[in-house]
Structure 1
Amino acid sequence: MSSTDCEKPPIDVIVASDKLAEPEPYIIFDRTQKRLITFVVTIVASSSTLASNIYFPAIPTIAEDLNVSVQLVNLTVTAYFIFQGLAPSLWGPISDAKGRRTAYVGTLIVLLGACIGLAQTKNYTMLIILRCLQSTGSASTNAIGSGVIGDITMRADRGGYMGFFQGVMLISIAIGPIIGGVLAGSLGWRSIFWFLTVYNGVLLMMVVFLVPETLRSIIGNGSRTPSQRIARFPLTLYQRHTTVKWDADKAPQQDPAPKRVDVLAPLRILTSKMATAIIIFFAIYFTVWQMCITAMSTLFTARYGITEIQTGLTFIANGAGSMVGTLITGKIMDRDYRRVHEKFENDERLESDGRIFPLERARLGPVPIYASVQCLSILLFGWTVQYPDQVHIAVPIVATFFTGWSTVSTQSNVTTYLVDIFHDRSAATTASINLARCCLAAAGSSAILPMVHGVGAGGAFTICVAVQLVAMVGLGVQWKCGGVWRSVKESAMS
């Protein structure tokens, strides 16, 4: 990137406030309905991260039962991440064009079929193929859920909803191994996939009965009846008895036209200069977290001699940290947005110096703190787990608490920031984040154990932190140049 790439443009292309970039999105759903919708789509989104991590404690048992090496079973984790990154690039644009409910039903049916097949797996070939299919079905629930929240919220309240969504979704990364350890240790590893079958069947019913269509090109402000039968929401009786009046006359004068499915939209967002730096920054931090989680069960089992169930319980701290991040990050984001917005609105020099609303400051302000905490916790984990005879297992477990908290908080801030920028393609935006983080996580999860064997746990995770520190450059670039890039784009579109 040249030094002139983010120089301040002429004042006539600066937007004094970026309110015009996102029209006031009047929606017929009241606060109770928004909370219900957010809760359901959050639980549905957890299916992806839950399925990716729930069988970590059972990997040695699966390898023994299928008569293959642990390394081969670990490859199914890599394959899962690859498809987890690629699948939303299809389902995300479908949900942005054809509707959220249509995409939800399609993905969950694929997921259900894969879970049933995995529960009856007879050989390694079936295992890896069905894990890829399982990832294809589950991975897009995150992108679709982000799209739903983008549909029903404004910037002023989006942080709280998105913080809850991203945080609870990532908690399943931490609690998945706990559930998997208990199931594998008591009922056998196949019970993990029967559990997922029942779980995802319930999620499908929740989507069908509790989640309305929210895509504005289909339902307008919520009062329009969708023409597609699959998009019709059955529980309209509940909505008719809320405090919101169902007045179709309040629908926008010009609703957006239906879109075509654009499967390249996530890739274009990923390679857009307004998003590339911050996405790569977060993808690296997410990858290091996933590398830590992937290595935990193997390192704790080998170095501390604990059982499958005990291994699952070691993930509780990570889950608790993720939960703390969930509870506080959304509130912090909404508070920061209100504070920055109020200061901006009261600044009388706006028109004279041509400044734009500092969205980067409103959304990304705490991210350097979260990133620093994650780096320190990863170092603590790596160097303490390397010396099991000298350091109690509680120390690396506590370190994972801070890793989970900081990663969840970072993802919430970054995702909300990007949905604010690409509010008309929110599902595709989240798909672009998935594409980057999952592909990097696939490489990282397959590389971490060879790194540990080569240079030790302390050395391996020190290398990871060094890469994270370099990735901080991306955050700095976004902070410095993001506002100018947005202003130029908005001026060109006006």
Structure 2
Amino acid sequence: MASSAGPGNNGPQRGSAEVERPISIHSHDSHDSTSDKTKEKEVDDHVGEDLIHAATVGEPCGTPYGEPSLPPSRVSSHHSRPPVVIVPRAKRRGLLAGLAIIPEVERPYDYKRSTKWTITLTIALATTAAPLGSTIFYPALPTLSAELGATDTVANLSVAMYMLSMSIFPLWWSAFSERYGRRSIYLISFFLFLVFSIASALSTNIAMLVVFRICAGGSSASVQAVGAGTVADVWETFERGRAMGIFYLGPLLGPLIGPIVGGVLADSLGWQSNMWFCAIYALITWFLILLLLPETLVRPRVEEPIVNNLQRTTTLESAKAHTKRVAASLRRFFIDPMAVLLYLRFPPIQITVFLGAIAFAGLFIANVSIQQLFQEAPYNFNTTILGLLYIAPGLGYIITSVFGGRWIDRIMAREAKKANRYDENGRLIYLPEDRMRENMWLANTVYPLSLLVYGWTVQYGVQFMVPLISLFLFGASSMLVFSAATTMLTEFVRKKSSAGVAINNFVRNIFSCLGVVVAAPWVHAIGAGWVFTTICIFCLIFGFAAIFLLRRNAQKWRVEMDKALNDMK
């Protein structure tokens, strides 16, 4: 049976000797059912290496686990699903692992689908926390400025700095999760989010509030990077698109729910109630993680015992060894997490990250403009109504999350079959760039044009349903871009899937932070129409160029990237 490398440190293992074995790639002909005339493709060394390290091999397309994706004439027998091996309670990993209702298993791919969806939905709920904490503050900013005696610009720092910390801290959360596991990181980070949300609610001046908001943003953002790693841990590639769509619904529902809840709470109870809401949300999520999220990071195949080598050494040698250990620890905790940024030098990572980041920046500029433009004439909406306007793009996110991922999975299967990419056991081989077909061409056309229509209709005071329909189309189409880009990053950097997503969050949240800062003065200076015209043109040009380059060069770039990463080891 061929190996299917997964997103953990060593990838999910299908057998003890399978990871090391070269993979032969066969092209199957459905008309050759009576004779063994299947010809092995001549694959050069580079492409062979590419398929081993960058493609997902040995996973079925739309068939039960372990069943070959072959024409009926070539399927000789039905392969039963391997038994689920539950880890004994005493050997389970992660903080308070014995309290989890869902047990840890040897191979996370072996969980039942219902269990996988429980894990995925819990992660999606947790991922909502970070963007919820930023957007829930929008309606409260005027009240906050008046009560704490801060200017509007300074008050905006409580949102902008929160988002900046969301971009930086996941680099560390991601690195720690690959070393210490997902569950422990979730529990620690959400406990910190709870503490800093309470501290924010009790703040008595703007400086105190901004500091605690920075800490709250950094702690809440752990799931945005690590969560994608968990999804990749439990879902195989052929079904991961739909799962990633549901996962990505979390960070996009935050901008929908936040202003609605924030507007109601700020109007009735004051700005502190928004922070208390975040604290309650953090507490509920912490308990859900405690009960429903087992450790999913794949276990290393060999666990080496810790040996004390200093028992027979001199005092000088012992001191040197201690110094080396301290230096290694400092490097591991302060330097190594930032090393993931080096992945940005690789074209497939770079292009995919920026493809999603510019769409995300457009999202936050649109969010800020809603607050700014719909409270002015001719609309004159109050705070509560302004919050309800975010339902329009939110519905687009939800619809695409439910149906878009399944569409992308089918496109991947179609492309693999069309190219006759099968391994020696007759199972489809998937490539990350298979996700970029008509779905991405359509999405990258619709979301910039939707912003264009929104900008001009809201500038000229067109009946409010017209710009809202544009925002709905923007939400639906941009969600296709977000989910495809995130999933591809987990596949480009498959042995450290959360690292790829951490890079994505780093760039994406920096873009969104800049968007929040410049949106209001930019719209005030040249008008919403020209602002979103500029965004539309830039997104169309860059998006089409990115899709074309990835479709044309991704395989060659992945070979070069794999070689460079292997040389770094």
Does the CA contact (< 8 Å) of 1:17 and 1:357 recur in 2?
A: no
Equivalence map 1:283-362=2 (5 Å): 283-303=357-377, 304-345=379-420, 358-362=431-435
Any conservation in 1 of the 2:137–2:159 contact (CA below 8 Å)? Answer: no
Look up the match of 1:377.
450
Greater relative contact order (Cα < 8 A, sep 6+) = 1
Distance 1:409 1:172 in 2: 17
Task: Compare 415-424 and 26-35 and name the one that shifted more.
Answer: 26-35
Q: Offset of 1:481 from its aligned partner?
A: 1.2
Q: Select between 17-26 and 54-63 the one with higher mean Cα deviation.
A: 17-26
Q: Under a length normalisation based on structure 1, what TM-score does the superposition of the two structures give?
A: 0.83
> Identical aligned pairs, as a percentage?
29
* Separation (CA, whole Å) in 2 of partners of 1:273 and 1:384: 37
Structure 2 residue aligned with 1:474: 546
Tell me the distance in 1 between the aligned counterparts of 2:443 and 2:554.
Answer: 20
Q: Deviations over 1:168-209 (max 9, x none)?
A: 331222221111112112222211111111111010111111
**What letter matches 1:345 in structure 2?**
N
Partner of 1:208: 290
Question: What letter is aligned with 1:92?
Answer: S
Of 65, 71, 90, 2:147 maps to 65
- Distance in 1, matches of 2:149 and 2:113, equals 53
Q: What secondary structure does 1:217 align onto?
A: coil
Please say if residues 24 and 154 of structure 1, whose CA atoms lie closer than 8 Å, have aligned partners that are also in contact.
no
Contact 2:242 2:402 in 1 (8 A): no
Match of 2:47 in 1: 14
Contact 2:486-2:501 within 8 A present in 1 as well = yes
Separation in structure 2 between the aligned mates of residue 24 and residue 72 of structure 1, nearest angstrom: 54
Displacement after TM superposition at 1:266 (Å) = 2.8
Q: For residues 30 and 17 of structure 1, what CA distance do their matches in structure 2 show?
A: 31
Map Cα deviations across residues 145-173 of structure 1 (whole Å, 9 max, x no partner).
Answer: 11111111211111111111012331222
In the alignment, is residue 44 of structure 1 matched against residue 126 of structure 2?
yes
Please tell me whether residue 272 in structure 1 is matched to residue 272 in structure 2.
no
**CA deviation map 1:420-467 (0-9, x unaligned):** 121111111111001111111111211111111111111111122222
Q: Is the 8 A contact 2:126 2:250 kept in 1?
A: no
Secondary structure (helix, strand or coil) at the match of 1:305 reads coil
**Aligned to 2:254, what secondary structure does the other structure show?**
helix
For 1:400 and 1:436, how far apart are their aligned partners in 2? 23
Q: 2:254 — aligned with what? A: 172
How far is the alpha carbon of 1:137 from its aligned partner?
Answer: 0.8
**Cα distance, 1:18 vs structure 2:** 2.5
Query: What are the superposed Cα offsets for residues 471-493 of structure 1, whole Å, 9 maximum, x if unpaired?
Result: 22233222221111123444675
Structure 2 equivalent of residue 413 of structure 1: 484
Aligned to 1:129: 211
Judge conservation of contact 1:16–1:357 (CA < 8 Å) in 2. no
- Aligned position for 2:104: none
Q: CA distance change for structure 1 residues 193 and 24 in 2, over 3 Å: closer, same or farther?
A: farther
Separation in structure 2 between the aligned mates of residue 272 and residue 192 of structure 1, nearest angstrom? 41
Alignment-derived partner of residue 92 in structure 2: none
Give the 3 Å change call, closer, same or farther, for CA 24–73 of structure 1 in structure 2.
farther
Q: Distance in 1 between matches of 2:192 and 2:112?
A: 32
Which has the larger helix fraction? Answer: 1
The CA RMSD over aligned residues, in Å, is: 2.5
Equivalent position amino acid for 2:393 in 1: N
- Where does residue 457 of structure 1 map in the other structure? 528
Q: Would you say the 8 A contact 1:363–1:417 is kept in 2?
A: no
Larger Rg: 2
Question: How far, CA to CA, are the matches of 2:421 and 2:186 in structure 1?
Answer: 43
Q: 47-56 or 163-172, which moves further after superposition?
A: 163-172
8 Å contact kept, 1:318–1:400: yes
Shift in Å, 1:45: 0.8
Give the corresponding residue for 1:427.
Answer: 498
Kept in 1, the 8 Å contact 2:455–2:529? The answer is: yes
Once structures 1 and 2 are overlaid, which stretch shifts more, 308-317 or 268-277?
A: 268-277
- Matched-pair contact (CA < 8 Å) for 1:371–1:406: yes
Shift of 1:373: 0.9
- Partner Cα distance (1:441, 1:154) in 2: 31
Once residues 362 and 378 of structure 1 are traced to their aligned partners in structure 2, the CA distance between those partners, rounded to angstroms, is 24
Whether the 8 Å CA contact 2:436–2:551 is kept in 1: the answer is no
In structure 1, stretches of 5+ residues that fail to align are 1-9, 228-259, 349-355
Q: Deviations over 1:37-57 (max 9, x none)?
A: 111111111111111111212
Aligned length: 440
- Structure 2: runs of 5 or more not aligned: 1-42, 60-106, 307-331, 424-428
Query: Is 2:255–2:390's contact at 8 Å kept on the other side of the alignment?
Result: no
CA distance in 1 between partners of 2:299 and 2:422 (Å): 36
Q: Distance in 1 between matches of 2:438 and 2:164?
A: 31
